[in-house]
Chains A and B, each alone.
Chain A
Amino acid sequence: MFVKVIFFQILLVYSFAESLILPIPLNTSYNKQKALLGKELFFEKKISPNKNLSCASCHRLFSGGVDNNILSDLDKSSKTSFNTMTVFNAIYNYKNFWDGRAENLEEQLNDSFNSFLKTKNDKINFMESLSPMYKKKFKKIYKDGFIYKNLLDSLVEFQKTLTTPNAPFDKYLRGDKNALNYKEIRGYEIFKSVGCIACHNGINLGANSYSNIKINTNEGNSYKGCYGKTVSIEKSFLVKVPSLRNIEITAPYFHDGKMTKLNDAIHGASTHALKRKLSANDITFITHFLKTLTGEMPKTINNNK
């Protein structure tokens, strides 16, 4: 019996194929003209209902694609419902928003705009309200000119440029066994063996499934997920499993931004999701591993380049 248990334990660990996590591609293909237009729009404040926020207001490109706030300001009196997630590598997400309702970036953008553009007329007026300069520029690149659909498309195209390849762990995956040190590799082993990888897998180590955190814990249920706030499937307490890419620089963590330290976040995730307490040692190792997921920051594209 004992031997059998050991055998299955080994089998279990080895059944994690390496391909569960894939590195960020070194090169992404995108249409530069469109991406440049998208970039312009990314910094355009007029695209918000109160003409006071651009995408870049919360998704700061020089601080990990987030604003590092618990919740972001919408105006002087209101804040967002959830912690802002990074735009970096968002192009590889299958679940966008905390409730994961958008499965690609078009849907994500469309949903964002739909929150204040309810009707067709709204959209037309919105487009009219933007600088006429866009009309000219879009006409040059898109056949059908400056229409809502192309506005989304250019933004998506721009986000394709916002990837962070060449993280040490990616190098490791690509075969450079020296890219990680002992502690980091140990952290990765624990990450696999305690089952983190069961949810945090895929190219973005997450953002491709929902986390079920409804199960009773010893600490009691302090966490109610998205219930009542989102339109997620079956309106349950589900939130998406967030991506672990660049986690080191995208604090604070979780949908409510409660955790600011990485080891606290690991502790929280393991107790809530894995329903077990990891030793401080294991958490330290996993922290080391997670820090290797920080890649090269995206190079901003320019007209002259």
Chain B
Amino acid sequence: MIFKKIDSVYIVFATLIIFLLVSFYYSVKIEKDVKAKYQNMAKVERLILLNLEIDTFLVKRLKHINFDIVSQNILDFKMILKDLNKSDIRFIKDTNTIKAIFIINQKFKKKRIVVEKFKSNTGLFISSVHYLLSINNVLQKSYYFSPIILKTQKISLSFTQSLFEKRDLLEISHVIKELKNLFKSNKLVDPQIKSFIEHSNSSLKTINVLDDLIVQKEVISLNKSLLSLKTIMQNNFEKSAKEEKFLQYILFVVDVIILLLLISTYMSMKLSQQNLSRFKNAVENSDNIIIITDIDHKITYVNDAFVNITGYTKNEIIGKKPNILKSGRMSKEFYENLHTKLKNNEKWEGEFVNQKKDGSLYHEATSIVPIMNKNEVEGYLAIKLDITNYVEQQEELFLKTTRLNEAQKIAQIGNWELSLKSSNIHVSNEVMRIFEFEETKKNMLFNEFLKYIHTDDKTKVILAFKQHISSEYNKNLEFKIVTCKNKPKHLQIYLHKKFDKNGELIAINGTVQDISKLVLAREEINFIAYHDHLTKLDNRIAFENKLEHAINLAKRRDKTFAVIFIDLDRFKIVNDTLGHQVGDKLLKIISQRLKNTIRESDTIARLGGDEFGIFLETTTTSKEVEIVAEKILNEVQLPVKFDNYSLDVTASIGISLYPQNGDNTESLLKNADSAMYFAKDRGKNNFQFFTETLSQEVYRRHNIEQSMKTALINEEFSLVYQPQYALNTKKVIGYEVLLRWYNEELGSISPVEFIPIAEDSGMIVSIGEWILKEACKTYIKLEKLGVAPDIFSINVSSIQFRQKNFIKTFLNIIEEAGVRPSSIELEITESYLVEINEENLTSLARLRERGFSISVDDFGTGYSSMSYLKHLPLDTLKIDKSFVDDTPHNKSDVAVVQAIITLANSFGFKIVAEGIETQEQEHFLKKYGCEIGQGYLFSKPLNLNDLIDFLE
């Protein structure tokens, strides 16, 4: 039966191959045919083109032509036609085509003759025309006005023209006859004229031949035949294409039918084969190990699975007992149970751990059945399944679950899944930890979950879950919860979607993480970003934000408010002299005080360094602002006491008002700042409202401050020296060193204007050091020249005195320069004396001990109590220029000067009168016991060279 089937398959298969080969051969043949036909068609097309070119040559009439071109055309035509004659048999078979080609051959032969004749006659004709023209030229000379010449001219012209266009030949022949008659009637014998007439006649013949040839060409109508050949070929082509297509189609159908037949035969054969071997396969190829033993447990049959799994070959195992597989892992009881069951002819089921041939262990699920034959046990059938992989997978799964739980515990990330069907949330162990559930709770309902969510966030969470169902993206969600143990926590959950196989959304799942710490950190960062770390007040950014908000609010509600800018006076000095720690503590205390002065609704911020900003949101009048400013000044003024320090601090305050002084943050702050500078200018410890003029002053002050920063480097400072002289002898006894500043942009700036600024900014310290260095250099120079007076005086700012290592620095500079301290008098202002305390006093005393002289400048302008002077380590008093100016006419000034001189004499101080400008003044001072003077009368301040000259 099988053999028969196979035979039939072979037959069908062979038929199929034959038909396929036929189809293939046929399609190749068709392709070849088509190619040949296309080539032939192309040839015909080329012939048509060539014929057209040949015709063009004929139509071009008689113009000179390179015969090579038309010769080549003829040759090409001939070759292609020859080719076409020889071409493919199938193509020629068609009688119509053969006929058409035959006709073309004939016509071409005729056409060639026409062309060749045309060529020959053209040459002949052209040369004749040339000849006629040249004879005409000769005749013109001898028959100038004769009618003959008119005729010859006309004839030669007509022939020449006929080269280019068709001429009426009858007319020409008529003229020739006339010429002939003329020639005869005149009985002329000129051979030239005779020759002319002969050539004219022959030319006429030639031109007739040429015209005739053109007509012949038309008659031959090679083009028509070519076109008809083309049509025939095209028709044949289409017809055969149809036939071929049909045949191919038939062949294809036959192929398909045979193929189907083959397939069905194969299928039926396969089915019967399957049926036959199914049982055998079931046993042989079963994944189950099948063992059959005889009654003595000796193995009689094993299948392939047994061989594959245990590694024993069939030959090895047949005749042996199954206990060869024993691993020794199973207990005695296990085997006893097995044997008892089998003895009772019962089925036994259980799991073994057995040993393979190579010693490795495997798990198997086994069922053993006794094979019964007529109630007698004949043997045993054991069916076993290798479950090693399953067991290992189980173990691995267990491990994985544990690991995942541990990982979540470590990472503190839990995962959850909300089933949309049951609204049940399945959660991981970590989630339980986060929610601080007491009992193990793997599931909870969504509503129960909502209970733990902080009331603030409940709607947000519900909404987010709802939206997530329809949303395309996965997202993060943050919310607060209250755990079972009533502990608030911030959670972040990641929402993800879970689809089943059909792409239907079945659950929302994701991770959950306790981000409470993160949120705290975030809040802290926010606080740091908008607060000053030292004072915990708002920082500049926060202040500007709030201010902007206030402006917007005020704009809408048509309200006014004030911005207050506070700068602590000379705070830099505190920082420089007492150190930053003290400065920081001071700032903390001041900021607390400032905060206490304002209402809760007002805003205060530390804008930087020692600058504070306040804005009073609900202020309506400037009076109200004044009250607040006043309060601030008073509050700041209170002594600051801490760590054994007692500091007196004042503040300068600038105020700008919205909307009068600006409608944006920038201008309001800038203007308040300007007003503050103005307040500083006004002697500090006061407040000023912003005005337009004020801004100009502040601008100049600002400019000066900025320019001063680079003045030392740019060497803009210079020193001048005003000599001091003994009023009695008019001899120079010393000079005062004065500072001058010239800046490119600002011009000369008076020390009265820039010294306070230098003091405020602390720049006076470095300027002072520079002055001392320069003055020492000058003094050394003078000493070398031998003209140095005993002493020179320089001004020292109180700010300099406050420098911690002021004395040390001073001494270093002097030592380096090589000037003795006894040559230097330090001038201090009277106002410094006012603020003098124990510490200042000791530093003055120490300077004096070193040999410096101390003088009080501008004496009389301050408020120093005269009696206090006695205790001070002083050497000289300088009477201020303002008193000297009006002496001796202003009585009160005269009284003051007298008093000062008397006082100084009684304390043993030297007296120096400043600003002596007239003889009168000098006389008056001398009279009342003033010994030393200084002023324009004696000498104005001089530069170094002038001073040297003056001294010499």
Contact = CB atoms under 8 A, between A and B. Distances in A.
Contacts of A276: 127, 131, 195, 199
B64 A202 contact: no
A20 interface: yes
A108 interface: no
B153 interface: yes
B119 A209 contact: yes
A15 interface: yes
A25 to B, nearest CB: 13
A103 B71 contact: yes
B127 A273 contact: yes
B202 interface: yes
Interface in B93-141: 112-113, 116-117, 119-124, 126-131, 133-134, 136, 140
Contacts of B160: 5, 8-9, 11-12
A290 interface: no
B119 A210 contact: yes
A4 interface: yes
Given A94-B72, A198-B122, 6 more contacts: A2-B153, A12-B160, A201-B66, A201-B67, A210-B116, A233-B113
Nearest to B205: A215
Given A194-B127, A211-B123, A275-B202, A103 B150 contact: no
Interface string A216-246: 1000000000000000011000100100000
24 contacts: A1-B150, A1-B154, A15-B163, A16-B64, A20-B64, A94-B67, A94-B75, A103-B71, A103-B75, A194-B130, A199-B123, A201-B64, A202-B67, A209-B71, A209-B119, A209-B120, A210-B116, A210-B120, A212-B120, A212-B121, A212-B123, A238-B116, A275-B127, A276-B195
A138 B417 CA distance: 90
Interface residues of A, number: 44
A22 interface: yes
Interface string A56-70: 000000000000000
B78 A103 contact: yes
B845 interface: no
Contacts of B74: 94, 103
The 5 lowest CB-CB distance pairs between A and B, nearest first, are A195-B127, A202-B68, A94-B71, A199-B123, A198-B123
A208 B63 contact: no
Interface string A175-208: 0000000000000000001111111011100001
Nearest to A209: B119
Contacts of B122: 198
B157 interface: yes
Contact of B127 (A5, A198, A216): A198
Interface in B44-95: 63-68, 71-72, 74-75, 78
A17 interface: yes
B656 interface: no
Contact of A208 (B68, B113, B150): B68
Contacts of B310: none
A104 interface: yes
B126 A195 contact: yes
A274 interface: yes
Interface in A1-59: 1-2, 4-5, 8-9, 11-12, 15-17, 19-22
Contacts of A95: 71
Given A9-B160, A199-B123, A215-B124, A208 B67 contact: yes
A202 B127 contact: no
A202 B128 contact: no
Contact of A275 (B117, B131, B153): B131
A31 B195 CA distance: 54
Residue with the greatest number of chain B CB neighbours at <10 A, chosen from A1, A9, A194, A233: A9
B537 to A, nearest CB: 99
B157 A1 contact: yes
Looking at chain A's contact residues, the main secondary structure is: loop
A234 B113 contact: yes
Contacts, number: 129
B477 to A, nearest CB: 84
A4 B121 contact: no
B68 A194 contact: no
A201 B65 CA distance: 8
A201 B161 CA distance: 22
Interface of A: 1-2, 4-5, 8-9, 11-12, 15-17, 19-22, 94-95, 103-104, 193-199, 201-203, 208-212, 215-216, 233-234, 238, 241, 273-276
Contacts of A1: 150, 153-154, 157
B133 A201 contact: no
Given A233-B112, A238-B120, A4 B157 contact: yes
Nearest to B129: A12
B66 A12 contact: no
A276 B112 CA distance: 29
B860 to A, nearest CB: 116
Q: How large is the interface on B (under 10, 10 to 19, 20 to 34, 35 or more residues)?
A: 35 or more
Residue with the greatest number of chain B CB neighbours at <10 A, chosen from A197, A211, A276: A276
A201 B71 CA distance: 12
A21 B163 CA distance: 20
A254 B153 CA distance: 36
A208 B126 contact: no
A194 B199 CA distance: 14
B513 interface: no
A212 B113 CA distance: 13
Nearest to A200: B123
A21 B126 CA distance: 17
B156 interface: yes
Nearest to B115: A209
A268 to B, nearest CB: 15
Contacts of B116: 209-210, 233, 238
Contacts of A211: 120, 123
Contacts of B120: 199, 209-212, 238
B156 A201 contact: no
Contacts of A241: 123
Nearest to B79: A104
Contacts of B117: 212
Interface in B905-937: none
A19 B157 contact: no
Contacts of B75: 94, 103-104
B130 A12 contact: yes
B64 A209 contact: no
A34 B112 CA distance: 33
Residue with the greatest number of chain A CB neighbours at <10 A, chosen from B121, B128, B140: B128
B127 A19 contact: no
Contacts of B134: 194
A5 B123 contact: no
Contact of B157 (A5, A15, A16): A5
B153 A15 contact: no
Interface string B198-234: 0100100000000000000000000000000000000
Contacts of A209: 67, 71, 116, 119-120, 123
Given A4-B157, A198-B123, A199-B123, A12 B128 contact: no
Interface in B372-410: none
Contacts of B153: 1-2, 5
Contact of A202 (B71, B124, B163, B202): B71
B133 A9 contact: yes
Nearest to B124: A212
Given A5-B157, A212-B120, A94 B126 contact: no
Nearest to B157: A5
B71 A215 contact: no
A22 B131 contact: no
Contacts of A5: 133, 136, 153, 156-157, 160
Given A202-B68, A209-B120, A275 B128 contact: yes
Nearest to B68: A202
A16 B126 CA distance: 11
Nearest to A196: B127
Contacts of A273: 123-124, 127
A238 B122 CA distance: 15
